[in-house]
Amino acid sequence: MFGWLFRSRSAPDVAKLFHDIANAARNPVAYREHGVADTFEGRFERLALVTTLVLRRLSALPAPAEVVGQGVVDQLFAHLDDGFRRAGVGDLSVGKKVKALAQGFYGRAKAYTEALDSGEEAQLRAVLARNLYGSEKTAEDVPAGLLAEIEGLIAALEKKDLAGLLAGRVLAGGEA
């Protein structure tokens, strides 16, 4: 509520970037064609994946990209907190639920980053199968279209510097 009092005046505004992340995570193709479950869990998994791709790009950029990355993570958890509250989850439960999602997010981000950095498609497929599909698909069943989408998102992100990312519209139908 009073976060604005403690926010650094020099911290870049990440609202457009986070909006871009959320839109890319909601891409209907992921649910209709790639078979990601259109549930809270499936949407969280997509949001974790796309956020990780953005954080990975930010980690390759010079300062203040690290501050922007932290701002993105802060927006992510504020977004999840707000979603729980709007869904009627009681105040006493929200913190516990967000904490559990935070732990899940950091684990997924680490797994996705390691798989992407390895350059091994099989490793990426295994992580995607485990996180996006649970027990519904094996690594071999991960759609090629999903891998192509991820490659496209990475390519779009790599074309942008920090200012370009902060301007938004890089992902999900933006100016790739």
What pLDDT is stored for residue 19 in this prediction? 95
- The yes-or-no verdict on residue 138 having pLDDT over 50 is yes
CA angle 128, 120, 147 (to 5 degrees): 45
28, two tokens? 């209907």
Report the distance separating Cα 7 and Cα 99, nearest Å: 22
pTM as predicted = 0.88
* Among the listed residues 174, 160, 109, 131, the one whose alpha carbon sits nearest the alpha carbon of residue 37: 131
Residue 174: band (very low, low, confident or very high) from pLDDT cuts 50, 70, 90? very low
User: In the structure, what pLDDT confidence band is assigned to residue 52 with cuts at 50, 70 and 90?
Assistant: very high
Q: Average pLDDT in the 127-152 region?
A: 94
